[in-house]
Structure 1
Amino acid sequence: MRALAMKEWIKLRHWLGLIGLGHLAFGAWFYLSMRHQFRIEHAEMIYYQANRIGRLFYDDLRYVPLATGAVLGAAQFLPEVLRGRLRIAMHLPMGLGALILAHLGLGLGLLAVVLAFDLGILAGTVGAFFPGPFVASALATAAPWMLAGIAAYLGAALVLLEPDRRTQAVNLAVAGGVVALCHLSAAYNAYDGAIWGLAVLVGLMVPATLRAAARFRDGGTG
């Protein structure tokens, strides 16, 4: 496991650096953009727009987790597939399920750190300009966006590990459908009653990825 973690770190470190710099830049821009909004408009008007009209002042974050998950998934699995390294590793004593779960666990762990940073930026920025209750509402509103990032990561693995082109297209459509469900509504707290069901749906992409990995190992049969 330690050797696998080191291999993944060597492979992903440059991508992680770019992702980290990108999110730092976005966080700074996000804060400055919010501060500018409060400088050109009265706070009372902004609170009214948020409370009564439902204007979302942080929807710039909406697709950031999605892009991050897709990039991280592609960066992790595309080199393995193109160079055949993963198929060789699949015949090691570690076992297919344990190997793929280890890869997914490492990738999801790294993604979780980035998403936690995004939520921290969101909470800190909203808390700096809005009353306290807005922070909890912002985090709840952004929760499906974070799930979209996880779905994009798992979707990248699901598509790249599938050796059959037709099944690959189906997997892409399924992953896209799950991501779309996470973005059906950008209204405040729109997913409060469905967030756990959505999380279970995203979680079901893990066994689907294991199935695709088995087909990849067997050359598309099974």
Structure 2
Amino acid sequence: MVLFKEWIKLRGWLLLLLLGHAVFAAYLFLSLRHQFRVEHPEMLFYQAGRIGRLFYDDLRYLPLASGLLLGLAQFLPEMTKGRLRLALHLPVGLGRMILSHLAVGLGALGLLLGLDLVALGLSVGTFFPAPFVSSALTTALPWMLAGVAGYLGMALILLEPERRFQVVNALVAGGVVWLCHLSPRFGAYDHALPGLALLVALMVPAALLPARRFRDGGV
């Protein structure tokens, strides 16, 4: 029941975001094609391989923006319209209910991020040799994690009934996002991705804490 309710609530937003990401995918491909039309391929290969120029840098903040928007669209109505308080009376445990909410949101966000990675891989693979594709994907993965952290951070903030903890949650989430964008260099996170992914994953169980405070007397 919870999964279906969340899907109904988010499907319109997901459709709009899918359209936006599809438009960006087309822009990314056309932008790379334009670069190869106005410059010699050898020069572009040198810039990408030796200098570390990112021809797909416009993708950097798209996952974060999408994660924040999805989190806002999913959890703001729950808190401002009292839906979460009503849902607490359902014969479903608190942990299961919150994790069901997060599963739907993360599933929707995962679809968007998957589209971004496929578009990036196809665009880079069309114009650059194969080794550039894997390096582009690993370079973009921290940006994807930033999108997940943004979504979970929005959930942490909006589920929290106490202002002081909202500030703490915002600082923690902002710190994780900052780590994901700490270095703009090509392949800078190749050896740090597992640790960064674990840090983002820890934000999932952390969302149960503000939900429990809300259930136990938050306003």
TM over 0.5: yes
- Structure 2, gaps ≥5 residues long: none
Q: Residue type of the partner of 2:152?
A: L
Q: Residue type of the partner of 2:69?
A: V
The answer to whether structure 1 residue 129 and structure 2 residue 127 are counterparts is yes
Q: Residue type of the partner of 1:156?
A: M
Residues 193-218 of structure 1: CA deviation (Å, up to 9, x unaligned):
11110111111111211001111112
2:174 to 164, 167, 176: 176
Displacement of 1:8 in angstroms is 1.4
Divergent runs of 4+, >6 A: none
Tell me the residue number matched to 1:190: 188
Q: Within 1, Cα distance between the matches of 2:3 and 2:97? A: 11
Tell me the residue number matched to 1:47: 45
Does the residue aligned with 2:207 lie in a helix, a strand or coil?
Answer: helix
Q: What are the residue-to-residue correspondences of 1:74-113 with 2, within 5 Å?
A: 74-113=72-111
Tell me the residue number matched to 1:13: 11
Q: Within 2, Cα distance between the matches of 1:220 and 1:90? A: 13
Displacement of 1:34 in angstroms is 0.8
Residues 13-58 of structure 1: CA deviation (Å, up to 9, x unaligned):
2111110110011111111111111111110001111111111111
Does the residue aligned with 1:118 lie in a helix, a strand or coil?
Answer: helix
What TM-score do the two structures reach when normalised by structure 1? 0.96
Q: Within 1, Cα distance between the matches of 2:165 and 2:25? A: 38
The answer to whether structure 1 residue 144 and structure 2 residue 142 are counterparts is yes
Displacement of 1:9 in angstroms is 2.1
Q: Is the CA contact (8 Å cut-off) linking 2:7 and 2:104 kept in structure 1?
A: no
Displacement of 1:220 in angstroms is 3.0
What TM-score do the two structures reach when normalised by structure 2? 0.97
The answer to whether structure 1 residue 62 and structure 2 residue 70 are counterparts is no
Does the residue aligned with 1:137 lie in a helix, a strand or coil?
Answer: helix
2:201 to 200, 203, 206: 203
- Structure 1, gaps ≥5 residues long: none
Q: Within 2, Cα distance between the matches of 1:96 and 1:5? A: 14
Q: Is the CA contact (8 Å cut-off) linking 2:139 and 2:187 kept in structure 1?
A: yes
